[in-house]
Amino acid sequence: MMIMKIEESAIVLSLLKSDLRPMDDVLSEFNSKFDDSSRFFSVCNSLSMMLQDQKMLQNTERLIAFAIIHQCYSSQKPSLNPFLSEMMSAACNEQLEKSERAFLLHLLQWNSYNNVKEILKQSAVDYIRSFDPSTHDFPELRELQREYGDKADPGPSSHIFADYSLKKLLHDPDVPRGCDPNSPEYVFDVQPGGNPRIGSGDRDEALSGFLGNSTMGGLAPRWIRPCPPRYPVHQSELLWIDPDNKHELVWDDKMCADTSRGATVRDLLVKGLKVTLSPMEQEDITTELANDPKLVYHCGITPRKLPQLVEHNPQIAVEILTKLIKSPDIADYFTALVSMDMSLHSMEVVNRLTTAVELPKEFIRMYITNCISSCGNAKQQDKYMQNRLVRLVCVFLQSLIRNNIINVKDLFIEVQAFCIEFSRIREAAGLFRLLKTLE
Amino acid sequence: MDSRDSLSSDAARDSSSLSEDAAVLSVTSALAKTALSYFQSGKFEECFDILIQLDQKKHNDPKVLHNMAIAEYFKDGCSNSEKLLQGLNRVKKQSEELASAARDQLEAANPGTNASVPKDHFDSTVTTLNIAVTWFHLHDYSKSFSILEPLFQNIQRLDETIALQICFLLLDIALACRDAVNFLAVFDYMEKAFGVGFGSHEENGSTMQLSSNQVSKTSSLLSSSVASDTLKSELTAAESSLCEETLDYDNVLAEFEAEKRMKPVGHIPANNLLKTLSERTFSNADLKLELQLYKVRFLLLTRNLKMAKREVKHAMNIAQKRDSSMALLLKSQLEYAHGNHPKAIKLLVVSGIHKEAGTSGIFKNNLGCIYYQLGNYQASSVLFLKALRSCSSLRRNEKPVKPFSLSQDKSLLIIYNCGLVYLALGKPLLAAQCFQKASVVFWRQPLIWLRLAECCMMALRKGLLEERTTSLDRSEIRVSVVGKGNRRQLMIEENGYVELAGNTQLSKLSLPLARVCLSNGIYLLNESLSNDSKSDLGSTFSVGMNETKEASSSDHEEANTNSDLKEAKGGMSQDIIQNSLSAFKDMCSKEKQLMQQALFANMAYVELELENPVKALSAATSLLQLPDCSKIYVFLGHIYAAEALCLLNRPIEAGAHLSAYLVGQDDFRLPYAQEDFDQWWKHTSSDCEETLDPSTGNARESVFLKPEEARGALFADLAALLATQGHHDQAKPLITHALTLLPNNVQATVTAVYIDLMLGRSQDALARLKQCTRVSFVPGRLEVRAS
């Protein structure tokens, strides 16, 4: 709470009025009544407000008020006193009584003004009475500021609004002017007072009302700080709810299930890597694969095993590859197919695949390139084998072209060169003629 | 150990141990069947007992343990999700360990061969799915998603039923997270894999259309007799509450009739077109409808209302063969999105979801949304509360748990709506409670943090943050009369100082909390802006899916020519989908920008309130640096920055911020126009045909300064700035101008009084105070106390 409580202001008021008691006596009473140092600030704040108005307090009261302010912060370095700057400016204010200014300088312990203790032993009245103005010289404000100023705490708030804040007290203009002896500059106002007690205002009441009311800070220009608008609620922010699919926990119905069916297929396929399976066995595999569309993923044929299966059981290989076409691993199977040795069976598999599914163009291209180059390589081995291979490749290519599987233009030069190289073989000449018709 | 034995025997199946194995197998499989039937009939106690027996026979079999965990969860009334998750995770870990052990063993048995483990044995797919389902129901969507992601990558290998379940769950997760990208990835896959999707309906559509016309004809004949009285009265009640809008009411009735007729599904002759695909276990017609509904939801999510309208019609056609309530609900949502609220209410009622206990809460919630948009916040709040009540009663009353029923608890979502409506009603404390509860689900979204901060700020404005200070006094000027007679003085006091310390009334809402919320929001938003390419779920399905998309674009079951044709069609509608996806992305990033502006502006404000000008300045500067910043926020940014600079004793720079709006020497232009405000207010809801209706319009006006008032604020602030620099003469006309624009503004009045006093015109100052209606002349405190 920054505002003084009623009891507190009553105490302060009575202290201010004890101008006949020694001031240190008054101060010690203050100390005993205000044992909570957190209240000091609001007391001093109220006092300093009243001190700003030179007419509000009597001279003795002003002295006591300054003494209290000094007392509150006496345990700390003077520069930590938030009201230091006010004390300094008062000390240099020519309009104030010299006695008060000297008193302040003593409080500030400026140069030769060093007998605070002595002075505080007097009562305020005694001090003023015994004050001899001739013995004092007063410093400039600058000098004081040099001494304390740069160390001085600039006060509770230090931004420009606070710095320029104005005391917020205003003489009530409704008080008939002539009745206020403290404001001679006011001319008489037309406003009829009508109050018989005009001019007999209770100063004490004003003071205590004041002490009770004054809060921190002065009246400063105020900044308009618009509150940011509430972020608009977009339609989609309100949650429209749809009943979702009933996502339930799923019972695992494979628990203790018979897994032998898949096993027979796996066993047959292991056999199929080495020998050609009988038509019956092939039939079994085909039906099992058809019954369980996912079995193909678990039947044990990996890309590495694929070439063996192609060599011995091309139909089964086609079956499996067509079922695997949606698998993310299908590219590995294709790679295995491209890189295996060229043979009738592998070409048969690719040829059948082209009619069953759409193969990646890149794969077909690679495969054809591979075919052509293995024909060339076969020369070293066996003329007969080479002729056989070339004829196979030619038939294969013709079939691809006739079925529109490949676009001849993509491979034209390559295939043409191949035909010319093996033009002695009848099928190659036929392929060449086919190419020419398409041109 | 047993299972490992059974594995090795499995590997050497041709050996003699086969018969022995088979004997065990028959016993266990019989037990397994019994357990399943108990489970399906909801007798979880008995089911669990059987499973214990099974566990004794096949010790540590992961699948048995898995089903035990599930059965136990249901046995305990679906109460202990944590235990379920622990159990499932243990099973998953165990089966993965066993699988890798088995692989090692196989590798050792025949080295060199690339061993593949037989299917089914240690497959943890079901377990994984169940874990994801549980997280889904616990509203941790991103967790659920990350668990499902690896399954989706290998979805081709999975059984179709389970693959479908995974896909549907993923779709719902993506919808819950408003993640259109991942939604599309899954949806694309489903369309390819299950043969129904965006592209395929065109040819079906025409025939469907035909049949539906027939249906509606017949149904209109029946309409008078079939409609049950209660529903009819509901319908008329709903209608009477709407404005007289000419809509194709017959159409609605027909839909309604159709829905009634569809209840017995059996006798509708199966469509030939559907038959070709019907080898699947999941009824293809169901699947088709389901996917169509999801397509509509996607289009609604991406706010492609035109397409949604077309597709929802198609969904209605399919739905006529079965349950159309969902399609009607989506139609209602579509009308809601269009801002056609009366029709939305009508469709909502027609959908009939309020009749079932399970969905009546949803009905009330959605009705609440509509009333909110109509500006009737009171009714809206009542509806949301009712919705919450039906949700909680659902939780309590559903005992015994019907088999296969996880609680469909939507209450956390409804609570969020509650928070919004409380905020609109100006009840920040209640709103904050709602948002804090809902943050369990939404904590990843920046918006909820902004809303929480708004709660704090509203509470501050309403004086709910202070100790005991009367909120009325908060923004008033008080002139106290001190003393009597010739000593009478006036003390002008502005209630500027508010003590925050030691407020015990509500420890939760405070300005520091607002600051924390805002910085959370800013952090989350920055994160999502920086990986805008990625989805909100943290990751998107990899490019692998795209490859398969291409590879699988034709199905081997179809002839080549057919597939070409299909592809062309699919491609066309794919374009539309992609367009609406990218439009949605644009929309989202625009909304994020707006939110960022709001977050920074609020942050600057809160920091100023906290008397922290350095941070306020940095927030305001960030705000001003945002690209395409709305003029409203630019204005706020300048004002906040200028004030912060003043507080930092840098008046020249502060003046520079204000003079951005200066025209000539002493006039300001409007910092923003009313259109700017309206545009901002509607922000990106340009697709919405709704024109601001008067009720919401009023609410909007009280929300923020009108442009003229903003101009007034500029005058007042510049006057204040000049006054502090001693240019009182210059300040005087400015503040007079400000007061004509903002009569009764407290701050402007104080500044004016200050300037008058500085110019030595205390009479003027008092006259000003007397003019201002927000000044209260109070008698001295002592007198009040005494009397």
Each residue's pLDDT tens digit, B352-395 = 787 777 788 889 999 999 999 888 899 999 999 999 888 777 66
- Return the number of other C-beta atoms located less than 10 Å from residue B729's C-beta: 11
| DSSP notation for B144-201 | HHHHHHHHHHTGGGS-HHHHHHHHHHHHHHHHHTT-HHHHHHHHHHHHHHHS-STTTH
CB contact under 8 A, B488 and A255: no
Instruction: Give the Cα separation of B524 and B516 in Å (integer).
Output: 12
CB A312 within 8 A of CB A273: yes
Confidence band, pLDDT 50/70/90 cuts, at residue B607: very high
- Interchain CB contact of A133 with B (< 8 Å): no
Average pLDDT, chain B: 72
All domains in chain B, ordered by first residue: 22-108+120-182 (1.25.40.10), 246-445 (1.25.40.10), 515-528+576-686+704-779 (1.25.40.10)
Instruction: Give the Cα separation of A223 and B639 in Å (integer).
Output: 9
| Poorest-pLDDT segment among B61-70, B77-86, B728-737 | B77-86
Q: Contacts of residue A325 in chain B, CB cutoff 8 Å?
A: 551-552, 556
Does the pLDDT of residue B111 top 80, yes or no?
no
- Interchain CB contact of A274 with B (< 8 Å): no
User: In 3-state terms, what secondary structure has residue A311?
Assistant: helix
Identify which of B135, B188, B186, B140 has the alpha carbon closest to the alpha carbon of residue B165. Answer: B186
Q: Contacts of residue B602 in chain A, CB cutoff 8 Å?
A: 228
Residues ≥6 apart with Cβ < 8 Å to A111:
A139
Tens of pLDDT along A9-25?
A: 788 888 888 888 888 88
CB contact under 8 A, A219 and B601: no
Its pTM surpasses 0.95? no
Tell me what the mean pLDDT of segment A405-422 comes to.
83
Facing B410 at nearest CB: one of A206, A220, A241: A241
Tens of pLDDT along B508-528?
A: 688 888 888 898 899 988 888
- Return the number of other C-beta atoms located less than 10 Å from residue B410's C-beta: 23
CB A245 within 8 A of CB B190: no
CB B404 within 8 A of CB B44: no
- CB burial class (10 A; 0-12, 13-18, 19+) of residue A413? exposed
CB B695 within 8 A of CB B726: no
User: In 3-state terms, what secondary structure has residue B775?
Assistant: strand
Calculate how close chain B gets to A221, using CA atoms only, in Å: 4
| Poorest-pLDDT segment among A268-282, B136-150, B673-687 | B673-687
Tell me what the mean pLDDT of segment B548-571 comes to.
37
Identify which of B727, B624, B724, B709 has the alpha carbon closest to the alpha carbon of residue B666. Answer: B727
Instruction: Give the Cα separation of B134 and B173 in Å (integer).
Output: 12
Does the pLDDT of residue A393 top 70, yes or no?
yes
How many residue pairs from chains A and B have C-beta atoms closer than 8 A?
A: 397
Token couple for B319:
């739905």
Tell me what the mean pLDDT of segment B451-455 comes to.
92
Token couple for A57:
């307090």
CB contact under 8 A, A215 and B601: no
In this structure, the dihedral spanned by the alpha carbons of residues B186, B188, B190 and B194, taken in order and rounded to 10 degrees, is -170
Identify which of B358, B389, B378 has the alpha carbon closest to the alpha carbon of residue B425. Answer: B378
Instruction: Calculate the CA A73 to chain-centre distance.
Output: 44
- Interchain CB contact of A210 with B (< 8 Å): yes
Q: Contacts of residue A223 in chain B, CB cutoff 8 Å?
A: 643, 646, 717, 720, 747
Provide the β-strand partners of residue A166: A219
Does the pLDDT of residue B315 top 90, yes or no?
no
Q: pLDDT higher for A199 or B142?
A: B142
CB contact under 8 A, B487 and A262: no
CA distances from A223 to B630, B712, B740, B755 (A): 23, 12, 17, 13
For position B253, what pLDDT does the model report?
Answer: 40
Instruction: Give the Cα separation of B521 and B527 in Å (integer).
Output: 10
Question: What ipTM is given for this predicted complex?
Answer: 0.73
Does the pLDDT of residue B295 top 80, yes or no?
yes
Percent of residues, chain A, with pLDDT higher than 90: 0
Identify which of B400, B391, B384, B332 has the alpha carbon closest to the alpha carbon of residue B359. Answer: B391
